Amino acid sequence: MRIPILKLHNYLLISIQTDLDDKTAIQFQEDLLSKIHKSGATGVVIDLTSVDIIDSFIAKVLGDVVTMSDLMGAKVVLTGIQPAVAMTLIDLGIHLKDVQTALDLEQGLIKLRQELEE
């Protein structure tokens, strides 16, 4: 399983459509970083609308993706986190404090554009 990464202008767009197992999550992390490196993308939107579970491992991978992308000069916005997923993250004690979020892909792109123009 590999998660497709689309390029749109300076942005990379990812919509996660599968129940993420650990290997797929780690592969995605690697793929995204090398794509940022190759494309010089300045923004990334990861859409989680179809993700109905985020456990501590996946939360860690996503948090690391955000930090690593940031180091490489690309801002990440997570979009479409389901209400049930947001609630379980709080139960897990995971607050994703430094992570930018938006309601959906479109809002995510708007947020990126605002951030990057500042």
Partner 1 sequence: MDFQSCVKINREWDIVGARQIGREHAKKIGFGTVDQARIATAISELARNIYLYADTGKICFEIINEIDRKGLWILAVDNGPGIADISQVMEDGFSTSGGLGAGLPGVKRLMDQFDIISETGKGTEIRTVKWVRK
- Where on the chain is the footprint of partner 1 (CB under 8 A)? 19, 21-23, 52-57, 59-60, 82-85, 87-88, 91-94
* Residue of the chain from 7, 8, 30, 57 that contacts ligand ATP (CB under 6 A): 57
As a whole number of angstroms, the longest Cα–Cα distance in the chain is 38
Would you say 5 and 35 are in contact if contact means Cβ atoms under 8 Å apart?
yes
**Which residue is associated with the tokens 């129940």?**
19
Decide if residue 95 touches ligand ATP (CB under 6 A).
Answer: no
C-alpha distances in Å from residue 91, one per residue of 6, 19, 51, 87, 94 = 33, 20, 17, 6, 8
33 vs 94 by CB, closer to ligand ATP: 94
93 vs 98 by CB, closer to partner 1: 93
51 vs 112 by CB, closer to ligand ATP: 51
